[in-house]
Structure 1
């Protein structure tokens, strides 16, 4: 087991990893920018190192400074959390060159899954169902027309190196295709420095289903069920739950077994998430995230398995702590991402939290680094914390969530708490009847009625 882990992140995820490391008896080092000097994870770590000014490029994305912090403190492993350098293959390679363990997959696996075209090819080779479309980047408009005609309109054009909805355009007819291609290429080139795009069949009302996996890097892997992340705004997840209201036990087992077998065959090490669009009983691979997800606590709630413990255990050479047949799914869990944003316009609202009170009671978990008097800096994402609620079934979970949201108090900044209080009372949400377009339609209708 590791002697000392450096946590190359900030906020609630840095605190989450720190707690897991301490439970395993491992000393912790955190890095921070000058803007985060008073952050909770800095206060609680065994050691802390300031690595630069507030801009991420000068601090949390500064590989040289993070490696130097490892060498100064004697850290023998790095946990990247999510975001920042968590899916940076170069970072993983540099750590390996310095004999420091990256708590995550190999640089090669990060590279494969970071390129969406190569990821799709790999998924197809491993037996994971994929969305019909081009086998790689489309070279010209003529090829694009041929592929679109074969799979049928509507189609979606995506950036090969993309994410977050950038470089992504829908063409509903042959007439729409030229401008959609041109726009997607332009956005992809500006955002990622790579204008390569590919084409897929556009699904009209799919759900976003992701499967949590963990591999030991030596040919063994398990799945921990799925999460439903269909409630999204601008391709960003807002509300996640496990298990999905749309799947039955047979579907859950089928897709889970496909994913765990694929990850075992790949020789993948650590935690990861295979993401799908799901429509009419069929799963279609869209991407794999080679890191811990923001929404991992809902999986922990229904399985009782600490995913960060598993990451550390696997990276240290200890293998998986459990077998697939021993994993049991108990109850239902929902996570709400509470952001410092206006609940109507989603404009960021940095500032000082004057009053902070989190809900409690059976089945309630809040992952947050915030506290009364904490100043939310304007330089990073606006996440204040995550409210995770667990119940014996979805009905109990929803009722418990309603109560927890009523107890949650954050004063001094605007938050998205009003949005979740609205959602928890909506009949479609109560029935689990939604898709990836539902939330944006609901927000548009609410704004129009205001």
Structure 2
């Protein structure tokens, strides 16, 4: 599932921009992603910097904070759901290739055609027909079609986003699905049904809803009986509260908040009270029946949830900067041990290195206004040139000249290396390269 955290509802804050900036796509006919060549086109916007993170699999490295949480969650599901022989019934998929189609990432999950999350300013497209998954839920229908009814997906996901201590273009999610056929759900009450008697399945109903037709009824989907929904809701909430207690302690205070996702109805977010504030932990809900129909599954109901590993790890281990997860510094990595989970593991700063901040101002082309410039395009250029030494990028000024009508922007770029002190001369050299690249890439004039 997607978050706010990882949640798709965050995109309601966005509006569809008129993307007139020049593309950041490679100047070649093909691009290699996950050892496969893809043709490039006008949609291609993956940068070399983003490609450099593929295959690192930090969420699988023993004693890495993300791997510790991954294993805790997997172990919890292995122990919670077992068959009569005592074997775990949840399958785990942690090496699925991140390249998916728009159908997998959006259409199959009923995400509207006009939803801002589909835009080039929010996703990394390989080409018009492929992109790097924006959430692990992109594999949901394929796994359901393969016959699986209980599974976890773990993997890296990609979003074009702002640059600061809590956002990174590559992060990791765990997604879970559990479905139950009527015979299992009502094994003790065979007279009950999952579907209302006047409901008829229709494969043609598998169409993304329009934004104006959101399923906001938190009671149930029209097709489901109240008995079926309440049983699944009870199991889902019981399982996830116990998961929260496993991670945060048995006395953790929690609450459920109604939410909206295109692929579940009703939907909820689980929040826990942690160190004086409510923390949004995960998104969940009863799976939309259209998704099950499209997978060829009948007389079945399901629930799903998704959680982002980085934000969870930053909270539990008090890690202040999301870039640290990619560090190879032994001083960072040696602080965490899987066997010590639950013993109040807390990140201890290796050292506190000073920040260096430089501003970059430029005039936009004559036919471009400040709202036409896509900030994520600028962020990708900064990442490509400077890599991970950029701690934050923020737009600090917009200006329109009263006489000429020309518009200008000013960005502040904060540099800080995670493993050494940067000199101002080093920063100035990198900043100069960013300036030159921005000037050429976007046809702007430096102020």
Q: Please give the range of the TM-score, normalised by the shorter of the 2 chains.
A: under 0.3
Q: Which has the higher helix share?
A: 1
Q: Normalised by the size of structure 2, how large is the TM-score?
A: 0.23
The higher-RCO structure (CA 8 Å, 6+ apart) is 2
Structure of larger gyration radius: 2
